[in-house]
Amino acid sequence: MTFTPPAPASDYRDSGLVFPPGFIFGSATAAYQVEGAAAEDGRGPSIWDTFSRTPGRVWNGDTGDVACDHYHRWESDLDLMKELGLGAYRFSIAWPRIQPTGTGAVNQAGVDFYSRLVDGLLARGIRPVATLYHWDLPQALEDAGGWPVRGTADAFRDYAAIMGTALGDRVDTWTTLNEPWCSAYLGYGQGGHAPGRHEPGAALAAVHHLNLAHGGAVQALRETSSGDPDYSITLNFHVLRGLGDGAAEAMRRIDGLANRVFTHPLLKGEYPADVMEDTASVTDWSFVKDGDLATINQPIDVLGVNYYSTATVRLWDGTSPMQHNDGHKDVTGGTPWPGSDQTVEFVQQPGPYTSMGWNIAPEGLEELLVALSAEFPTQTLMITENGAAFEDEVAADGAVHDPQRADYLRRHFTAAHRAIARGVDLRGYFVWSLLDNFEWGYGFAKRFGIVRVDFDSLERTVKDSGLWYGRLARTGVLP
Binding site for ligand FCB (CB under 6 A): 30, 33, 178-179, 182, 236, 306, 385, 432, 439-440, 448
Contacts of 163 (CB under 8 A, 6+ apart): 93, 98, 114, 130, 132, 221
Q: Least Å distance between CB 90 and ligand FCB?
A: 10
Q: Least Å distance between CB 388 and ligand FCB?
A: 9
Q: Compute CA distances 257 → 166, 185, 366, whole Å.
A: 35, 9, 22
Q: Least Å distance between CB 378 and ligand FCB?
A: 26
- Between 292 and 326, whose beta carbon lies closer to ligand FCB? 326
Asked whether the CA dihedral 326, 331, 337, 340 is positive or negative, the reply is positive
- Between 316 and 448, whose beta carbon lies closer to ligand FCB? 448
Residue 224 in 3-state DSSP?
A: helix
* Contact assessment for residue 27 and residue 383, using Cβ atoms and an 8 Å cutoff: no
* Contact assessment for residue 329 and residue 359, using Cβ atoms and an 8 Å cutoff: no
- Between 292 and 385, whose beta carbon lies closer to ligand FCB? 385
Is the link from the previous residue into 457 a cis peptide, with omega within 30 of 0?
no
Active site residues: 179, 385
Q: Least Å distance between CB 438 and ligand FCB?
A: 9
Q: Least Å distance between CB 381 and ligand FCB?
A: 17
- Between 309 and 340, whose beta carbon lies closer to ligand FCB? 309
Long-range CB pairs of 350-353 (<8 Å, 24+ gap) are none
The beta strands (E) that lie in 298-355 are given as: 302-306, 310-315, 344-347
- Between 17 and 182, whose beta carbon lies closer to ligand FCB? 182
Closest CA to 465 of 358, 386, 396, 384: 386
* Contact assessment for residue 428 and residue 24, using Cβ atoms and an 8 Å cutoff: yes
Spatial separation of the C-alpha atoms in residues 289 and 342, rounded to whole Å: 29
